[in-house]
Amino acid sequence: MRTPNNFLSLFVCGALALTLAHCSADAPTTPTAPPTFSLSRVGAQHDLLTCPGGDNDAVATGVIGPNGGSLKLGGFVMRVPAGAVPETTTFIMRVPEAKVLKVKIRARGEQHYTFLAPVQITLDYSRCRSAPSDPTAWYVDEGSDAELEQMPGINNSRAQTFTLQTGHLSGYALAN
């Protein structure tokens, strides 16, 4: 006659045997690193617009809240519509000294920031030696200047500016 303790022991042993049967000697015994993903783009590498200058000392700082606002440094402008920023936030704009025309904008000192609605960023290429005929704007890796994503926008060749729309902050550059 089997007692409840004998039945429980048989059940536990059976469950353990099934578990071990599904194990493999080839299975990893330690967790593996999660896969890494990279952004890709279609098409050939573009030539980022080469321009002299930038000034690491030139910085614009502004506080923008839920009602929107703008931040300007020379001909570079970020326009934030009402509702794009959920709470009052400090933004910092810098046009770094670099071989390519680019702008860095930070919110609260963070490298990346996501808006609740698209904002406009205007890039001024008037200081460039030769004006591009049909520039494109790119979200770029700030360290390597690798083009990560083309940004929609409008070129104003008369004003020598390109205005793009984005839902996030990072580094942006122009290409020929």
Which residues span the domain enclosing 98?
Answer: 59-175
Domain assignment present for 11: no
Q: What is the pTM of this model?
A: 0.70
* 162 compared with 8, residue with greater pLDDT: 162
Domain assignment present for 10: no
Domain assignment present for 171: yes
Domain assignment present for 88: yes
Domain assignment present for 18: no
Domain assignment present for 78: yes
Domain assignment present for 118: yes
Domain assignment present for 106: yes
Residues found in the chain: 176
How many structural domains compose the chain?
A: 1
pLDDT in tens, 61-100: 999 999 999 999 988 999 999 999 999 999 999 888 777 7
Q: Alpha-carbon distance 175 to 119, whole Å?
A: 20
